[in-house]
Structure 1
Amino acid sequence: MAKFLNTSATNFFLEELIKNAKERLILISPYLRLNDRIKELLEDKDRLKIDIRIVYGKSDLHPDEIKWMQKLDFVRLSFCKNLHAKCYLNESECIISSLNLYEFSQINNNEMGILIRKYEDQDVFKDAYEEAQRIIRISDEVRISLDEVKAEPTNESVEETNDNNVGKLTSSKLAAKHKMKTNELLAHFTEKGLLNINDAGKHILTQQGKDVGAEFKTSQYGGYFLWPENIEL
Protein backbone atom coordinates (compact mmCIF):
# COMPACT_ATOMS: atom_id res chain seq x y z
CA MET A 1 0.00 0.00 0.00
CA ALA A 2 1.29 3.46 -0.89
CA LYS A 3 2.59 5.57 1.99
CA PHE A 4 1.77 9.29 2.20
CA LEU A 5 4.77 11.59 2.65
CA ASN A 6 4.84 15.15 3.94
CA THR A 7 7.77 17.51 3.32
CA SER A 8 10.18 16.07 5.88
CA ALA A 9 9.19 12.49 5.07
CA THR A 10 9.70 13.08 1.35
CA ASN A 11 13.24 14.31 1.96
CA PHE A 12 13.97 11.43 4.36
CA PHE A 13 12.67 8.66 2.11
CA LEU A 14 14.34 10.21 -0.94
CA GLU A 15 17.70 9.89 0.81
CA GLU A 16 16.84 6.33 1.84
CA LEU A 17 15.81 5.47 -1.72
CA ILE A 18 19.17 6.66 -3.01
CA LYS A 19 21.10 4.90 -0.23
CA ASN A 20 19.25 1.61 -0.81
CA ALA A 21 19.80 1.50 -4.57
CA LYS A 22 21.70 -1.67 -5.47
CA GLU A 23 21.39 -1.82 -9.26
CA ARG A 24 19.85 1.33 -10.71
CA LEU A 25 18.64 4.77 -9.75
CA ILE A 26 16.33 7.09 -11.71
CA LEU A 27 15.84 10.71 -10.65
CA ILE A 28 13.34 12.78 -12.65
CA SER A 29 13.00 16.43 -11.68
CA PRO A 30 12.31 19.52 -13.82
CA TYR A 31 14.57 21.69 -11.67
CA LEU A 32 18.01 20.43 -10.73
CA ARG A 33 20.18 22.00 -8.04
CA LEU A 34 21.35 19.29 -5.66
CA ASN A 35 22.17 19.87 -2.02
CA ASP A 36 25.43 18.59 -0.54
CA ARG A 37 23.79 15.58 1.13
CA ILE A 38 22.25 14.31 -2.12
CA LYS A 39 25.54 14.86 -3.93
CA GLU A 40 27.37 12.86 -1.28
CA LEU A 41 24.93 9.96 -1.64
CA LEU A 42 25.18 9.99 -5.44
CA GLU A 43 28.97 10.11 -5.30
CA ASP A 44 28.90 6.98 -3.13
CA LYS A 45 26.62 5.20 -5.62
CA ASP A 46 28.91 6.27 -8.44
CA ARG A 47 31.85 4.66 -6.63
CA LEU A 48 29.79 1.47 -6.39
CA LYS A 49 29.16 1.65 -10.16
CA ILE A 50 25.38 1.93 -9.79
CA ASP A 51 23.63 2.97 -13.01
CA ILE A 52 22.23 6.47 -12.33
CA ARG A 53 19.90 8.28 -14.73
CA ILE A 54 18.97 11.90 -14.06
CA VAL A 55 16.37 13.69 -16.17
CA TYR A 56 15.74 17.43 -15.87
CA GLY A 57 13.67 19.83 -17.94
CA LYS A 58 14.06 23.51 -17.09
CA SER A 59 16.64 25.92 -18.55
CA ASP A 60 20.38 25.41 -18.34
CA LEU A 61 22.22 23.63 -15.58
CA HIS A 62 24.03 25.75 -13.05
CA PRO A 63 27.82 25.72 -13.66
CA ASP A 64 28.36 24.17 -10.21
CA GLU A 65 26.19 21.20 -11.20
CA ILE A 66 28.11 20.75 -14.44
CA LYS A 67 31.48 20.79 -12.67
CA TRP A 68 30.25 18.26 -10.13
CA MET A 69 28.77 15.87 -12.72
CA GLN A 70 31.99 15.86 -14.71
CA LYS A 71 33.54 13.86 -11.89
CA LEU A 72 30.97 11.04 -12.03
CA ASP A 73 31.44 8.10 -14.39
CA PHE A 74 28.14 6.27 -13.89
CA VAL A 75 25.71 9.19 -14.00
CA ARG A 76 23.91 9.83 -17.27
CA LEU A 77 22.08 13.11 -17.64
CA SER A 78 19.16 13.79 -19.99
CA PHE A 79 17.03 16.81 -20.85
CA CYS A 80 13.28 16.39 -21.40
CA LYS A 81 11.38 19.33 -22.85
CA ASN A 82 8.08 20.15 -21.11
CA LEU A 83 8.96 17.93 -18.15
CA HIS A 84 6.78 18.53 -15.10
CA ALA A 85 6.85 15.09 -13.42
CA LYS A 86 8.86 14.51 -10.26
CA CYS A 87 9.62 10.83 -9.76
CA TYR A 88 12.46 8.99 -8.02
CA LEU A 89 13.05 5.23 -8.32
CA ASN A 90 15.45 2.47 -7.49
CA GLU A 91 14.87 -1.21 -8.25
CA SER A 92 12.43 -1.67 -5.37
CA GLU A 93 10.97 1.71 -4.34
CA CYS A 94 9.42 4.73 -6.03
CA ILE A 95 8.56 8.23 -4.81
CA ILE A 96 6.11 10.36 -6.79
CA SER A 97 6.05 13.83 -5.30
CA SER A 98 5.70 17.56 -5.78
CA LEU A 99 9.34 17.92 -4.65
CA ASN A 100 11.94 19.07 -7.16
CA LEU A 101 15.57 18.08 -6.73
CA TYR A 102 16.22 21.71 -6.01
CA GLU A 103 17.99 22.83 -2.86
CA PHE A 104 15.66 25.78 -2.18
CA SER A 105 12.53 23.62 -2.55
CA GLN A 106 13.85 20.96 -0.19
CA ILE A 107 14.41 23.55 2.53
CA ASN A 108 11.65 26.12 2.09
CA ASN A 109 8.64 24.64 0.31
CA ASN A 110 5.69 22.63 1.59
CA GLU A 111 5.65 19.38 -0.36
CA MET A 112 3.81 16.07 -0.39
CA GLY A 113 4.12 12.76 -2.16
CA ILE A 114 3.67 9.01 -1.97
CA LEU A 115 6.10 6.14 -1.49
CA ILE A 116 5.43 2.97 -3.49
CA ARG A 117 7.22 -0.27 -2.66
CA LYS A 118 7.47 -2.94 -5.33
CA TYR A 119 6.71 -5.83 -2.98
CA GLU A 120 3.54 -4.09 -1.74
CA ASP A 121 2.18 -2.56 -4.99
CA GLN A 122 3.84 -4.45 -7.81
CA ASP A 123 1.46 -3.28 -10.56
CA VAL A 124 1.64 0.39 -9.55
CA PHE A 125 5.43 0.20 -9.24
CA LYS A 126 5.63 -1.41 -12.70
CA ASP A 127 3.49 1.34 -14.24
CA ALA A 128 5.61 4.08 -12.63
CA TYR A 129 8.85 2.39 -13.70
CA GLU A 130 7.65 2.00 -17.30
CA GLU A 131 6.58 5.65 -17.45
CA ALA A 132 9.97 6.71 -16.09
CA GLN A 133 11.64 4.63 -18.80
CA ARG A 134 9.43 6.28 -21.43
CA ILE A 135 10.48 9.73 -20.21
CA ILE A 136 14.12 8.66 -20.44
CA ARG A 137 13.59 7.41 -24.00
CA ILE A 138 12.07 10.67 -25.21
CA SER A 139 14.76 12.74 -23.49
CA ASP A 140 17.97 13.95 -25.07
CA GLU A 141 21.11 12.73 -23.34
CA VAL A 142 23.35 15.61 -22.32
CA ARG A 143 27.07 15.36 -22.94
CA ILE A 144 28.87 17.49 -20.40
CA SER A 145 32.16 19.04 -21.47
CA LEU A 146 34.47 21.62 -19.99
CA ASP A 147 33.41 24.31 -22.44
CA GLU A 148 29.91 24.22 -20.94
CA VAL A 149 31.21 25.57 -17.65
CA LYS A 150 30.85 29.30 -17.91
CA ALA A 151 29.96 32.25 -15.77
CA GLU A 152 26.49 32.29 -14.30
CA PRO A 153 24.25 34.48 -16.49
CA THR A 154 22.16 37.28 -15.13
CA ASN A 155 18.72 38.33 -16.28
CA GLU A 156 19.35 41.92 -15.34
CA SER A 157 21.50 43.82 -17.80
CA VAL A 158 20.93 47.07 -16.00
CA GLU A 159 19.22 48.24 -12.83
CA GLU A 160 17.37 51.52 -12.91
CA THR A 161 15.70 53.34 -10.08
CA ASN A 162 13.15 56.12 -10.16
CA ASP A 163 10.23 57.38 -8.11
CA ASN A 164 7.90 54.78 -9.63
CA ASN A 165 10.04 51.95 -8.25
CA VAL A 166 9.68 52.85 -4.57
CA GLY A 167 8.92 49.73 -2.53
CA LYS A 168 10.23 47.41 -5.24
CA LEU A 169 13.52 45.59 -5.67
CA THR A 170 15.32 44.13 -8.64
CA SER A 171 15.81 40.37 -8.69
CA SER A 172 19.44 40.63 -7.60
CA LYS A 173 18.64 42.91 -4.67
CA LEU A 174 15.69 40.78 -3.58
CA ALA A 175 17.88 37.67 -3.79
CA ALA A 176 20.58 39.35 -1.71
CA LYS A 177 17.98 40.34 0.87
CA HIS A 178 17.05 36.68 1.31
CA LYS A 179 20.67 35.45 1.06
CA MET A 180 20.08 33.70 -2.25
CA LYS A 181 21.65 33.82 -5.68
CA THR A 182 19.69 35.59 -8.39
CA ASN A 183 19.27 32.41 -10.44
CA GLU A 184 17.94 30.59 -7.38
CA LEU A 185 15.35 33.32 -6.85
CA LEU A 186 14.27 33.26 -10.50
CA ALA A 187 13.98 29.47 -10.47
CA HIS A 188 11.89 29.66 -7.30
CA PHE A 189 9.55 32.24 -8.83
CA THR A 190 9.30 30.08 -11.95
CA GLU A 191 8.30 27.12 -9.81
CA LYS A 192 5.67 29.27 -8.08
CA GLY A 193 4.25 30.35 -11.43
CA LEU A 194 5.30 34.00 -11.23
CA LEU A 195 7.73 33.53 -14.12
CA ASN A 196 7.84 31.29 -17.13
CA ILE A 197 10.65 30.32 -19.51
CA ASN A 198 10.12 30.99 -23.20
CA ASP A 199 11.48 29.01 -26.15
CA ALA A 200 14.63 31.12 -26.11
CA GLY A 201 15.33 30.10 -22.52
CA LYS A 202 14.55 33.56 -21.13
CA HIS A 203 12.42 34.29 -18.08
CA ILE A 204 9.16 36.11 -18.77
CA LEU A 205 6.60 37.48 -16.34
CA THR A 206 3.32 35.57 -16.08
CA GLN A 207 -0.08 37.04 -15.32
CA GLN A 208 0.24 35.60 -11.83
CA GLY A 209 3.49 37.51 -11.44
CA LYS A 210 1.84 40.71 -12.59
CA ASP A 211 -1.01 40.12 -10.15
CA VAL A 212 1.39 40.15 -7.19
CA GLY A 213 2.83 43.46 -8.37
CA ALA A 214 5.92 42.39 -10.31
CA GLU A 215 7.03 44.37 -13.36
CA PHE A 216 9.43 43.95 -16.25
CA LYS A 217 11.35 47.08 -17.19
CA THR A 218 13.15 47.59 -20.48
CA SER A 219 15.90 49.98 -21.46
CA GLN A 220 18.40 50.42 -24.26
CA TYR A 221 20.73 48.06 -22.37
CA GLY A 222 18.31 45.20 -21.79
CA GLY A 223 15.63 44.39 -19.23
CA TYR A 224 15.10 43.47 -15.60
CA PHE A 225 12.36 42.49 -13.16
CA LEU A 226 11.07 44.55 -10.26
CA TRP A 227 9.44 42.77 -7.31
CA PRO A 228 7.47 44.08 -4.33
CA GLU A 229 9.96 44.45 -1.51
CA ASN A 230 7.86 42.34 0.87
CA ILE A 231 6.82 39.63 -1.60
CA GLU A 232 6.46 36.20 0.04
CA LEU A 233 8.92 33.55 -1.09
Structure 2
Amino acid sequence: MAKFLNTSATNFFLEELIKNAKERLILISPYLRLNDRIKELLEDKNRLKIDIRIIYGKSDLHPDEIKWMQQLDYVRISFCKNLHAKCYLNEETCIVSSLNLYEFSQVNNNEMGILISKNDDIQVFKDAYEEAQRIIRISDEVRISLDEVKSEQTKAETSQEDSDHLTKLTSSKLAAKHKIKTGDLLEIFVEKGLLQLNENGKHYLTEQGKAVGGEFRPSQYGGYFLWSENMSI
Protein backbone atom coordinates (compact mmCIF):
# COMPACT_ATOMS: atom_id res chain seq x y z
CA MET A 1 0.00 0.00 0.00
CA ALA A 2 1.34 3.44 -0.97
CA LYS A 3 2.73 5.57 1.87
CA PHE A 4 2.43 9.35 2.23
CA LEU A 5 5.69 11.21 2.80
CA ASN A 6 6.20 14.65 4.32
CA THR A 7 9.37 16.69 3.76
CA SER A 8 11.69 14.82 6.12
CA ALA A 9 10.28 11.44 5.11
CA THR A 10 10.74 12.24 1.43
CA ASN A 11 14.41 13.02 1.98
CA PHE A 12 14.88 9.95 4.17
CA PHE A 13 13.25 7.49 1.79
CA LEU A 14 15.03 9.01 -1.19
CA GLU A 15 18.35 8.21 0.46
CA GLU A 16 17.10 4.71 1.31
CA LEU A 17 15.95 4.20 -2.28
CA ILE A 18 19.42 5.06 -3.56
CA LYS A 19 21.20 2.98 -0.91
CA ASN A 20 19.03 -0.09 -1.59
CA ALA A 21 19.41 -0.07 -5.38
CA LYS A 22 20.86 -3.43 -6.46
CA GLU A 23 20.55 -3.31 -10.25
CA ARG A 24 19.28 0.04 -11.49
CA LEU A 25 18.48 3.53 -10.33
CA ILE A 26 16.42 6.18 -12.14
CA LEU A 27 16.35 9.78 -10.88
CA ILE A 28 14.06 12.22 -12.69
CA SER A 29 14.15 15.87 -11.60
CA PRO A 30 13.84 19.15 -13.54
CA TYR A 31 16.47 20.86 -11.39
CA LEU A 32 19.77 19.20 -10.69
CA ARG A 33 22.22 20.41 -8.04
CA LEU A 34 23.11 17.47 -5.80
CA ASN A 35 24.09 17.81 -2.18
CA ASP A 36 27.16 16.05 -0.80
CA ARG A 37 25.15 13.25 0.79
CA ILE A 38 23.39 12.28 -2.45
CA LYS A 39 26.71 12.47 -4.33
CA GLU A 40 28.31 10.17 -1.76
CA LEU A 41 25.51 7.62 -2.18
CA LEU A 42 25.70 7.74 -5.97
CA GLU A 43 29.48 7.38 -5.91
CA ASP A 44 29.04 4.21 -3.85
CA LYS A 45 26.50 2.82 -6.33
CA ASN A 46 28.90 3.67 -9.15
CA ARG A 47 31.63 1.64 -7.44
CA LEU A 48 29.17 -1.28 -7.31
CA LYS A 49 28.53 -0.82 -11.06
CA ILE A 50 24.83 -0.07 -10.62
CA ASP A 51 23.19 1.33 -13.77
CA ILE A 52 22.24 4.92 -12.90
CA ARG A 53 20.11 7.13 -15.14
CA ILE A 54 19.61 10.81 -14.26
CA ILE A 55 17.15 12.89 -16.28
CA TYR A 56 16.89 16.64 -15.77
CA GLY A 57 14.88 19.36 -17.48
CA LYS A 58 16.54 22.74 -17.07
CA SER A 59 19.35 23.66 -19.43
CA ASP A 60 21.41 25.51 -16.81
CA LEU A 61 23.32 22.42 -15.67
CA HIS A 62 26.09 23.67 -13.43
CA PRO A 63 29.69 22.95 -14.51
CA ASP A 64 30.43 21.49 -11.07
CA GLU A 65 27.76 18.84 -11.66
CA ILE A 66 29.21 17.96 -15.06
CA LYS A 67 32.73 17.72 -13.63
CA TRP A 68 31.52 15.40 -10.87
CA MET A 69 29.54 13.17 -13.27
CA GLN A 70 32.51 12.82 -15.60
CA GLN A 71 34.19 10.76 -12.88
CA LEU A 72 31.34 8.21 -12.69
CA ASP A 73 31.43 5.46 -15.31
CA TYR A 74 27.98 4.04 -14.56
CA VAL A 75 26.02 7.30 -14.43
CA ARG A 76 24.28 8.44 -17.61
CA ILE A 77 22.60 11.81 -17.72
CA SER A 78 19.90 12.96 -20.15
CA PHE A 79 18.10 16.21 -20.84
CA CYS A 80 14.30 16.17 -21.30
CA LYS A 81 12.65 19.27 -22.66
CA ASN A 82 9.61 20.54 -20.71
CA LEU A 83 10.27 18.11 -17.85
CA HIS A 84 8.32 18.87 -14.68
CA ALA A 85 7.99 15.36 -13.16
CA LYS A 86 9.94 14.37 -10.06
CA CYS A 87 10.20 10.60 -9.77
CA TYR A 88 12.85 8.34 -8.25
CA LEU A 89 13.00 4.55 -8.73
CA ASN A 90 15.09 1.50 -8.07
CA GLU A 91 14.05 -2.06 -8.94
CA GLU A 92 11.77 -2.36 -5.88
CA THR A 93 10.66 1.13 -4.82
CA CYS A 94 9.38 4.34 -6.37
CA ILE A 95 8.90 7.86 -4.99
CA VAL A 96 6.68 10.34 -6.81
CA SER A 97 7.17 13.70 -5.15
CA SER A 98 7.31 17.48 -5.37
CA LEU A 99 10.99 17.28 -4.34
CA ASN A 100 13.60 18.38 -6.89
CA LEU A 101 17.12 16.98 -6.79
CA TYR A 102 18.22 20.44 -5.84
CA GLU A 103 20.10 21.15 -2.64
CA PHE A 104 17.99 24.23 -1.88
CA SER A 105 14.74 22.25 -2.21
CA GLN A 106 15.98 19.46 0.04
CA VAL A 107 16.82 21.91 2.82
CA ASN A 108 14.34 24.77 2.55
CA ASN A 109 11.12 23.70 0.85
CA ASN A 110 8.00 22.03 2.20
CA GLU A 111 7.52 18.87 0.16
CA MET A 112 5.07 16.00 -0.25
CA GLY A 113 5.53 12.59 -1.81
CA ILE A 114 4.17 9.10 -2.22
CA LEU A 115 6.23 5.97 -1.62
CA ILE A 116 5.28 3.03 -3.85
CA SER A 117 6.46 -0.54 -3.33
CA LYS A 118 6.66 -3.02 -6.20
CA ASN A 119 5.54 -5.83 -3.89
CA ASP A 120 2.52 -4.00 -2.45
CA ASP A 121 1.48 -1.82 -5.41
CA ILE A 122 2.36 -3.91 -8.45
CA GLN A 123 0.32 -2.08 -11.08
CA VAL A 124 1.08 1.42 -9.80
CA PHE A 125 4.80 0.63 -9.70
CA LYS A 126 4.62 -0.83 -13.21
CA ASP A 127 2.86 2.28 -14.54
CA ALA A 128 5.40 4.60 -12.92
CA TYR A 129 8.33 2.54 -14.20
CA GLU A 130 6.96 2.49 -17.76
CA GLU A 131 6.43 6.26 -17.70
CA ALA A 132 9.98 6.74 -16.43
CA GLN A 133 11.24 4.60 -19.32
CA ARG A 134 9.21 6.70 -21.77
CA ILE A 135 10.78 9.88 -20.39
CA ILE A 136 14.22 8.30 -20.81
CA ARG A 137 13.43 7.38 -24.43
CA ILE A 138 12.39 10.92 -25.37
CA SER A 139 15.38 12.47 -23.56
CA ASP A 140 18.69 13.38 -25.16
CA GLU A 141 21.73 11.91 -23.48
CA VAL A 142 24.15 14.66 -22.52
CA ARG A 143 27.71 14.26 -23.75
CA ILE A 144 29.22 17.64 -23.05
CA SER A 145 32.56 18.18 -21.40
CA LEU A 146 33.36 20.65 -18.67
CA ASP A 147 35.84 22.35 -20.99
CA GLU A 148 33.05 22.97 -23.51
CA VAL A 149 30.85 24.49 -20.81
CA LYS A 150 33.61 26.80 -19.59
CA SER A 151 34.49 27.72 -23.17
CA GLU A 152 30.91 28.69 -23.98
CA GLN A 153 30.58 30.69 -20.77
CA THR A 154 33.88 32.46 -21.39
CA LYS A 155 32.90 33.32 -24.96
CA ALA A 156 29.53 34.69 -23.84
CA GLU A 157 31.02 36.73 -21.02
CA THR A 158 33.91 38.03 -23.12
CA SER A 159 31.61 38.98 -25.98
CA GLN A 160 29.24 40.84 -23.68
CA GLU A 161 32.04 42.59 -21.83
CA ASP A 162 33.47 43.76 -25.15
CA SER A 163 30.10 45.22 -26.09
CA ASP A 164 29.95 46.96 -22.74
CA HIS A 165 33.34 48.56 -23.51
CA LEU A 166 34.79 46.88 -20.43
CA THR A 167 32.79 49.12 -18.10
CA LYS A 168 31.23 46.12 -16.35
CA LEU A 169 32.53 42.91 -14.85
CA THR A 170 30.97 39.51 -14.31
CA SER A 171 30.43 38.41 -10.71
CA SER A 172 33.46 36.12 -10.86
CA LYS A 173 35.75 38.85 -12.16
CA LEU A 174 34.43 41.41 -9.69
CA ALA A 175 35.04 38.91 -6.90
CA ALA A 176 38.58 38.30 -8.16
CA LYS A 177 39.20 42.04 -8.24
CA HIS A 178 38.28 42.24 -4.55
CA LYS A 179 40.14 38.98 -3.78
CA ILE A 180 37.13 37.07 -2.50
CA LYS A 181 35.25 34.00 -3.71
CA THR A 182 32.36 34.43 -6.14
CA GLY A 183 29.98 32.73 -3.70
CA ASP A 184 30.96 35.16 -0.97
CA LEU A 185 30.37 38.08 -3.33
CA LEU A 186 26.89 36.83 -4.14
CA GLU A 187 26.10 36.41 -0.43
CA ILE A 188 27.21 40.00 0.20
CA PHE A 189 24.94 41.22 -2.60
CA VAL A 190 22.03 39.24 -1.13
CA GLU A 191 22.65 40.90 2.25
CA LYS A 192 22.77 44.30 0.54
CA GLY A 193 19.46 43.57 -1.20
CA LEU A 194 20.97 43.63 -4.69
CA LEU A 195 20.18 39.95 -5.25
CA GLN A 196 17.62 37.53 -3.87
CA LEU A 197 17.22 33.74 -3.97
CA ASN A 198 14.14 32.16 -5.52
CA GLU A 199 12.53 28.92 -4.33
CA ASN A 200 14.91 26.88 -6.46
CA GLY A 201 17.98 28.44 -4.91
CA LYS A 202 18.85 30.62 -7.88
CA HIS A 203 19.89 34.25 -7.62
CA TYR A 204 17.88 36.93 -9.34
CA LEU A 205 18.41 40.65 -9.62
CA THR A 206 16.29 42.92 -7.42
CA GLU A 207 15.10 46.39 -8.36
CA GLN A 208 17.77 47.73 -6.02
CA GLY A 209 20.36 45.69 -7.87
CA LYS A 210 19.18 47.11 -11.19
CA ALA A 211 19.27 50.61 -9.74
CA VAL A 212 23.00 50.31 -9.03
CA GLY A 213 23.66 49.11 -12.57
CA GLY A 214 23.46 45.35 -12.13
CA GLU A 215 22.43 43.37 -15.20
CA PHE A 216 21.52 39.73 -15.84
CA ARG A 217 22.58 38.20 -19.13
CA PRO A 218 21.03 34.81 -20.01
CA SER A 219 23.12 32.11 -21.64
CA GLN A 220 22.71 28.46 -22.59
CA TYR A 221 24.13 27.44 -19.23
CA GLY A 222 22.02 29.64 -17.00
CA GLY A 223 23.31 33.18 -17.43
CA TYR A 224 25.45 35.53 -15.38
CA PHE A 225 25.40 38.95 -13.73
CA LEU A 226 27.27 42.08 -14.79
CA TRP A 227 28.29 44.83 -12.35
CA SER A 228 30.05 48.14 -12.58
CA GLU A 229 33.81 47.66 -12.33
CA ASN A 230 33.83 50.38 -9.65
CA MET A 231 31.21 48.54 -7.57
CA SER A 232 31.98 48.75 -3.84
CA ILE A 233 31.76 45.61 -1.70
Same fold (TM over 0.5): yes
Corresponding position of 1:135: 135
Indicate conservation of the 8 Å contact 1:217/1:223, yes or no.
no
The separation in 1 between residues aligned to 2:32 and 2:209, in whole angstroms, is 26
Amino acid at match of 1:42: L
Q: CA deviation at 1:218?
A: 9.3
Q: Deviations over 1:203-231 (max 9, x none)?
A: 8x9xxxxxxx8689599995479xxxxxx
Q: CA deviation at 1:88?
A: 0.1
Report the structure, 1 or 2, having the larger helix content. Answer: 2
The separation in 2 between residues aligned to 1:216 and 1:138, in whole angstroms, is 40
Amino acid at match of 2:60: D
Q: CA deviation at 1:150?
A: 1.9
The separation in 1 between residues aligned to 2:36 and 2:140, in whole angstroms, is 26
Corresponding position of 2:91: 91
Structure 2 alignment gaps of length 5 or more: 162-167, 170-183, 218-224, 226-233
Two-structure CA RMSD over aligned residues (Å): 3.7
Q: CA deviation at 1:61?
A: 1.2
Q: Deviations over 1:97-150 (max 9, x none)?
A: 000000011001110100000000000000000000000000000013242342
Corresponding position of 1:106: 106
Amino acid at match of 1:133: Q
Q: Secondary structure at the match of 2:115?
A: strand
Q: Secondary structure at the match of 1:111?
A: coil
The separation in 2 between residues aligned to 1:102 and 1:21, in whole angstroms, is 21
CA gap 1:173/1:47 in 2 versus in 1, 3 angstroms: closer
Q: CA deviation at 1:50?
A: 0.4
CA gap 1:85/1:176 in 2 versus in 1, 3 angstroms: farther
The separation in 1 between residues aligned to 2:72 and 2:42, in whole angstroms, is 9
Amino acid at match of 1:189: N
Amino acid at match of 1:12: F
Q: What's the TM-score, normalizing by structure 2?
A: 0.70
Indicate conservation of the 8 Å contact 1:53/1:76, yes or no.
yes
Q: Secondary structure at the match of 2:21?
A: coil
CA gap 1:174/1:96 in 2 versus in 1, 3 angstroms: same
Stretches (4+) displaced over 6 A: 151-157, 218-221
Q: CA deviation at 1:176?
A: 3.6
Indicate conservation of the 8 Å contact 2:51/2:74, yes or no.
yes
The separation in 2 between residues aligned to 1:106 and 1:141, in whole angstroms, is 25
Q: Secondary structure at the match of 2:131?
A: helix
Q: What's the TM-score, normalizing by structure 1?
A: 0.70
Q: How many residues align?
A: 193
1:2-17 to 2 correspondence within 5 Å? Answer: 2-17=2-17
Indicate conservation of the 8 Å contact 2:105/2:199, yes or no.
no
The separation in 2 between residues aligned to 1:27 and 1:20, in whole angstroms, is 14
Q: Percent identity?
A: 73
The separation in 1 between residues aligned to 2:216 and 2:101, in whole angstroms, is 29
Q: Deviations over 1:135-175 (max 9, x none)?
A: 0000000013242342878999859xxxxxxxxxxxx9774
Q: Secondary structure at the match of 1:83?
A: coil
CA gap 1:70/1:9 in 2 versus in 1, 3 angstroms: same
1:8-47 to 2 correspondence within 5 Å? Answer: 8-47=8-47
CA gap 1:215/1:129 in 2 versus in 1, 3 angstroms: farther
1:1-233 to 2 correspondence within 5 Å? Answer: 1-150=1-150, 175-176=187-188, 189=198, 191=200, 217=210, 223=216
CA gap 1:123/1:65 in 2 versus in 1, 3 angstroms: same
Corresponding position of 1:209: none
CA gap 1:84/1:218 in 2 versus in 1, 3 angstroms: farther
Structure 1 alignment gaps of length 5 or more: 160-171, 196-202, 206-212, 226-233
CA gap 1:41/1:109 in 2 versus in 1, 3 angstroms: same
Indicate conservation of the 8 Å contact 1:56/1:80, yes or no.
yes
